[in-house]
Amino acid sequence: MIEAARRQRLVGIVLFVLLIVAILFLRLMPLNPGRAIWPGPDFALCLTLAWVLRRPDLAPAPIIAALFFLEDIMLLRPLGLWAAIVLFGTEAARRREHRWRELPFMIEWLRIATLLAMMMLAYRFALALFLLPTPPLGQVILQYIATAGSYPLVTGLLHWPLGLRRGLRDNDTRHR
């Protein structure tokens, strides 16, 4: 019994890692040669936040930090800055997960949109503080809108094929 639970947890963690790596691989593909006019959503961030709110035990903090540090390396961003901000944001969501569980999805979406805005502002502030080049504000706002707007799509895809949904988990006996 314990071995089956451990195997299921390991499969969930491996699936999370593979999905993030697949998203990173697709971001690195030269699908649109030339300059991108419209920045796309950050699906890796949406997936991570949705996964943390649905199954926090399957998205450990060291794995989140390592995956986003790898993303920083591959996308040539300042090393560790976005990874640290994502780690702080996901841990803030993880601490509030049990309180958000019974709330309607619209409230969750609003809170995630607020958290995304704070994370993007913190990143922009840190870049400006250390006199690093900052992306244009218009593109950052467009990426924020695209990311916040794609969160329901990501959660729907997690719910439908993978069966990850909000609510009580099998091993959660506190609220029964």
Cβ count within 10 A of residue 139? 13
Q: What is the pTM of this model?
A: 0.87
Q: The tokens 């920083």 sit on which residue? A: 72
Amino acid 101: pLDDT: 80
Q: What are the phi and psi torsion angles at 75 (to 5°)? A: -100, 10
100 against 41, higher pLDDT: 41
Cα torsion for 137, 142, 144, 146, to the nearest 10°? -170
Task: Give residue-wise pLDDT tens across range 51-104.
Answer: 999 888 889 999 999 999 999 999 999 999 999 999 999 999 999 888 878 889
